[in-house]
């Protein structure tokens, strides 16, 4: 029996991805070779790569003038590559927690960073209504804070190239890609297994690469655009699995359907939290993430947190422990998670409360 998986990433993936990737590992399209054995430059893998890029463009309605890349190094490598390529003097970073902080730490190696932050309230809200200086090289945001459970649902209009870490809410809603100069993230939440990084980059952003800086070849975006993500050997199985996710998202009704289901899942769980006498959400209502639902036990029940994790585990709900920096619980409800998964968790919460409150 498949468990109710609430892991934050790697996380639950679609059944069709698991089945089709497993089959391709044994035999790719009946050619008598595994996806693990074919050349990445041969026609069989090239077809996988081309279809994956085309599906990304289709599913996310990416306008012309953008390239879709699949790279190594995780979103964390992008934290460094972005300022290395584009930070000449000053950049603007919206700091919503751990991941934004890691991104802006790298930026500080290359120039001045102007920051707006929700640290004053322990990252329990998403910053809004700030001014951006008009001389910044770019603006960097993290659309969903995987650890604290805050999310922005709007595509901002800003006066500089907008670069967004979409690691943990990619494909969970329609996005106006034209508002962004670059969208990137690790695949290991809504897109596929860990090991590949997606980058959607506006080709004209390359005009903003800092002219007099010596950047290693592998760390230049132009290298990967020119090489069709094949400058070096790409993570072939991961890209195959990403293609399976994109096919699945499309078959389910695309990002519009993903958003509808995400809202339903989140509503079910947040309603259970808000109506409980035992659990509570630390996040302000309007900024609550649909992907990472963070909750804690009210003070008088705090010592029962470990018991609840064990109790939920007996009901097949796994991956609920909050991030080590926050404590409490985090239910990650990414695209592949179902209403049945969330209902099982809500039932576990209600049963536990009935027994222990």
The whole-angstrom separation of Cα 169 and Cα 18 is 21
Q: How far is the CB of 98 from ligand PMP (least distance, A)?
A: 8
Q: Which pair of tokens denotes residue 266? A: 């989140």
Which of 12, 110, 165, 202 is catalytic? The answer is 165
Q: State which residue, 137 or 165, has the beta carbon closest to ligand PMP.
A: 165
Whether 99 is a known active-site residue: answer: yes
- Residues in touch with ligand PMP (CB under 6 A): 9, 74-76, 99, 142, 146, 165, 167-168, 186
Residues across the chain: 357
Q: Computed over its alpha carbons, how large is the radius of gyration of the chain?
A: 21
Q: How far is the CB of 340 from ligand PMP (least distance, A)?
A: 25
Half-sphere exposure of 176 (CA within 13 A, CB side): 8
The whole-angstrom separation of Cα 137 and Cα 150 is 26
Q: How far is the CB of 175 from ligand PMP (least distance, A)?
A: 15
Q: State which residue, 167 or 276, has the beta carbon closest to ligand PMP.
A: 167
- The contacts of residue 72 (CB under 8 Å, 6+ apart) are 195, 196, 197, 232, 234, 235
User: With the C-alpha atoms ordered 336, 341, 343, 346, is the resulting torsion angle positive or negative?
Assistant: negative
Q: State which residue, 90 or 323, has the beta carbon closest to ligand PMP.
A: 323
Decide the pairing of beta strands 150-151 and 162-165: unpaired
Q: How far is the CB of 46 from ligand PMP (least distance, A)?
A: 25
User: Residue 276, SS3?
Assistant: coil
Q: State which residue, 166 or 352, has the beta carbon closest to ligand PMP.
A: 166
Half-sphere exposure of 192 (CA within 13 A, CB side): 27
Whether 321 is a known active-site residue: answer: no
The whole-angstrom separation of Cα 177 and Cα 275 is 37
Whether 202 is a known active-site residue: answer: no
Q: State which residue, 187 or 246, has the beta carbon closest to ligand PMP.
A: 187
The whole-angstrom separation of Cα 353 and Cα 300 is 13
The whole-angstrom separation of Cα 211 and Cα 250 is 40
Q: How far is the CB of 77 from ligand PMP (least distance, A)?
A: 7
Q: State which residue, 145 or 281, has the beta carbon closest to ligand PMP.
A: 145
Which of 189, 202, 247, 341 is catalytic? The answer is 189
Catalytic residue IDs: 99, 165, 189
């Amino acid at each position: 029996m498949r468990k109710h998986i609430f892991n934050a990433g790697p996380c639950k993936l679609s059944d069709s991805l698991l089945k089709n990737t497993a089959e391709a590992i044994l035999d790719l399209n009946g050619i008598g070779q595994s996806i693990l054995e074919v050349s990445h430059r041969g026609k069989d893998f090239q077809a996988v790569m081309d279809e994956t890029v085309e599906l990304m463009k289709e599913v996310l309605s990416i306008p012309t003038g953008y390239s879709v890349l699949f790279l190594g190094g995780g979103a964390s490598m992008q934290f460094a590559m972005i300022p290395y390529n584009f930070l000449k003097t000053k950049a603007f970073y919206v700091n919503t927690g751990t991941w934004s902080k890691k991104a802006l730490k790298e930026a500080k190696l290359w120039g001045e960073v102007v920051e707006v932050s929700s640290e004053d309230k322990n990252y329990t809200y998403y910053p809004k209504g700030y001014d951006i200086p008009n001389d910044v090289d770019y603006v960097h945001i993290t659309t969903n804070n995987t650890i604290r459970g805050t999310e922005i649902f709007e595509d901002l209009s800003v006066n500089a190239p907008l670069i967004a870490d979409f690691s943990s809410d990619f494909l969970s809603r329609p996005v106006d890609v034209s508002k962004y100069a670059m969208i990137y993230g690790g695949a290991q939440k809504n897109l596929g297994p860990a090991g590949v990084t997606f980058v959607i980059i506006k080709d004209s952003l390359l005009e903003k690469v800092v002219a007099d800086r010596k950047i290693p070849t592998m760390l230049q975006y132009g290298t990967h655009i020119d090489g069709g993500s094949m400058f070096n050997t790409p993570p072939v199985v991961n890209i195959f699995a990403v293609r399976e996710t994109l096919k699945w998202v499309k078959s389910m009704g695309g990002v519009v359907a993903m958003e509808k289901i995400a809202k339903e899942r989140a509503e079910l769980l947040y309603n259970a939290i808000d109506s409980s006498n035992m659990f509570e959400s630390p996040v302000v209502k309007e900024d609550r993430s649909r992907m990472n639902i963070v909750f804690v036990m009210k003070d008088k029940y705090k010592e029962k947190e470990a018991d609840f994790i064990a109790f939920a585990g007996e009901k097949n709900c796994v991956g609920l422990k909050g991030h080590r920096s926050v404590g409490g619980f985090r239910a990650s409800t990414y695209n592949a998670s179902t209403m049945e998964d969330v209902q099982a968790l809500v039932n576990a919460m209600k049963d536990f409360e009935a027994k222990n409150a």
